C-alpha cells in the first residue's frame, strides 16, 4: 500500500515556517537579549577569566581557542533546545501537527519547515556571536566568514534527529535523559573547552561520534586559519550524512506518530 505522504512541496514547507515565525514574533525580544548576552558573558568568564591562567593552546591564547567551539555549541544547543519541548508540545499539547495533517501539508513539509525555522534562529544567534568575538579580537583568519555555514550544518545535523526523538517519545521526562547523556556530555567533551586529545584514548571515539566535534574542528580551523584534524571533506561528509539520516528518521517518526 502506498503511503499518505510524498516529498516536500515548497509552498507547504513555507507555510509551516511561517507559523513558526509568527509564534517567534511574540518571543523574539527576550531570546534576542539572552542570545546576545550569554556568549558575551561566557567569553568574559571562561575566555578571559580562566584564560588568564592558561598560556596558549595550539599556539593561540585560550580565548581565541575556545571562541570557534563556543560558537558552534551555541548553534548545537539551540538546535536541541528548539527541537525538544516545542516539537513534543506541537504533538502533545498544542496538537499543531495533527491539525496540519488534516490539510495538504505533508509530513516532509512539517519537518522541513521546522528545520528552516531552527536554521534561521541559529544563524541569527551565530551572527551576533561572531560580531562580538570579532570585537574581542578572537578571529584570526578571513576563513572565519565560513563559520556560519559550519554552524548551519551542525544545526541541521543536530536538529533533525532531535525532532525524531521528540516525535517518538510519549512522556517529556525522557528529555532529561537526552540533555544529560547527549547535550551536556557533547558540550563538555567534544573539543569546545579543551582538546579532544586530552581525553583517554577509549573515550575519544565518543567525541568523534558527536556532530558537534566535527563542527568545532571545522570552525576552529576557519577562525584560526589552520587545518582541521581530519580532511575538511571528511568532517563535512560526516555532518551531511548525519543530517540525511536524521531527516529520514524524523520523517519516519512524524509519520508514525501521526498515524497512531
Partner 1 sequence: MSEQPLIHARGLVKRFGDFTAVDGIDVQVRAGEAFGFLGPNGAGKSSTMRMIGCVSLPTAGELSILGMDPARDGTRIRARLGVCPQLDNLDPDLSVRENLTTYARYFGIPRAEARRRADELLEFVRLSDRAGSMVEPLSGGMKRRLTIARAMVNDPDIVLLDEPTTGLDPQARHLLWERLFQLKRRGTTLVLTTHYMDEAEQLCDRLVVMDAGRIVAEGSPRSLIETHCTPEVVELRFGDDRPADLAGKLEGVGERVDQLADRLLVYAADGDAAAAEVHRRGVTPSSVLVRRASLEDVFLQLTGRTLVD
Partner 2 sequence: MVTTLIAARLSAGAIAPGRVGAVIYRNIGALRSGPAYWVVLLSGFFEPLLYLLSIGVGVGALVGTIPLDGRALPYATFVAPAMLAVSAMSGALSETTFNFFFKMKYAKTFEAVLATPVRPFEVALGELGWAMIRGSVYTLLFLLVMVGFGLTTPLWALAALPATLLVGLAFGSLGMAVSTLLRGWQDFDLMTTAQFALFLFSGTFSPVAEYPAVLRVVVQATPLYQAVELVRGLALGAPSWGLLGHAAYLAALTAAGLLFAARRLERLLLR
* Least distance (Å) between residue 184 CB and partner 2: 6
Tell me how far apart the alpha carbons of residues 208 and 176 are, in angstroms, rounded to a whole number. 23
Cell of 87: 516539537
Q: Find the part of the chain contacting partner 2 (CB under 8 A) among 8-16, 134-142, 190-198, 246-254.
A: 190-198
Q: Find the part of the chain contacting partner 1 (CB under 8 A) among 10-18, 54-62, 65-73, 120-128.
A: 10-18
Q: 10 Å Cβ neighbour count for 122?
A: 27
Q: Find the part of the chain contacting partner 2 (CB under 8 A) among 24-32, 101-109, 122-130, 135-143.
A: 24-32
Q: Which residues between 241 and 260 bind partner 1 (CB under 8 A)?
A: 258-259
41 binds partner 2 (CB under 8 A): yes
Q: List b or e across 16-32, with b for residues whose CB sees 16 or more CB atoms inside 10 angstroms.
A: bbebbbeeeeeeeeeee
Question: Is residue 35 within 8 Å of 128, Cβ to Cβ?
Answer: yes
170 binds partner 1 (CB under 8 A): no
Cα 75–Cα 178–Cα 248 angle in degrees, nearest 5:
70
Would you say the C-alpha torsion 185, 187, 190, 196 has a positive or negative sign? Answer: negative
* Least distance (Å) between residue 2 CB and partner 2: 35
Q: Which residues between 84 and 123 bind partner 1 (CB under 8 A)?
A: 94-96, 98-106
94 binds partner 2 (CB under 8 A): no
Q: Which does 40 bind (CB under 5 to 8 A by kind): partner 2, partner 1, none?
A: none
181 binds partner 2 (CB under 8 A): yes
Q: Cell 578571513 sits at which residue? A: 142
Question: Is residue 136 within 8 Å of 43, Cβ to Cβ?
Answer: yes
Question: Which spans of this chain sit near partner 1 (rule: CB under 8 A)?
Answer: 1-2, 4-6, 9, 11-12, 14-16, 18-19, 22-23, 26, 94-96, 98-106, 258-259
Amino acid at each position: 500500500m502506498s503511503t499518505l505522504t510524498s516529498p516536500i512541496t515548497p509552498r507547504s514547507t513555507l507555510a509551516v515556517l511561517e507559523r513558526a515565525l509568527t509564534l517567534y514574533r511574540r518571543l523574539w525580544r527576550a531570546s534576542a537579549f539572552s542570545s546576545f548576552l550569554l556568549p558575551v558573558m561566557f567569553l568574559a568568564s571562561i575566555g578571559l577569566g580562566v584564560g588568564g591562567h592558561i598560556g596558549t593552546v595550539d599556539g593561540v591564547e585560550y580565548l581565541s581557542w575556545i571562541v570557534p567551539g563556543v560558537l558552534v555549541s551555541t548553534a548545537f544547543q539551540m538546535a536541541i533546545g528548539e527541537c525538544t519541548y516545542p516539537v513534543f508540545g506541537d504533538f502533545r499539547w498544542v496538537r499543531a501537527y495533527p491539525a496540519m495533517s488534516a490539510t495538504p501539508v505533508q509530513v516532509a513539509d512539517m519537518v522541513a519547515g521546522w528545520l528552516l525555522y531552527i536554521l534561521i534562529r541559529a544563524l541569527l544567534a551565530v551572527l551576533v556571536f561572531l560580531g562580538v568575538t570579532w570585537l574581542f579580537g578572537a578571529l584570526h583568519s578571513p576563513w572565519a566568514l565560513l563559520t556560519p555555514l559550519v554552524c548551519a550544518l551542525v544545526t541541521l545535523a543536530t536538529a533533525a534527529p532531535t525532532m525524531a526523538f521528540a516525535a517518538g517519545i510519549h512522556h517529556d521526562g525522557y528529555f532529561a535523559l537526552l540533555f544529560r547523556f547527549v547535550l551536556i556530555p557533547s558540550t563538555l567533551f567534544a573539543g569546545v573547552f579543551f582538546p579532544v586529545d586530552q581525553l583517554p584514548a577509549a573515550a575519544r571515539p565518543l567525541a568523534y561520534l558527536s556532530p558537534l566535534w566535527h563542527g568545532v574542528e571545522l570552525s576552529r580551523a576557519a577562525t584560526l586559519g589552520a587545518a582541521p584534524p581530519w580532511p575538511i571533506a571528511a568532517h563535512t561528509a560526516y555532518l551531511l550524512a548525519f543530517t540525511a539520516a536524521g531527516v529520514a528518521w524524523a520523517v519516519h517518526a512524524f509519520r508514525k506518530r501521526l498515524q497512531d
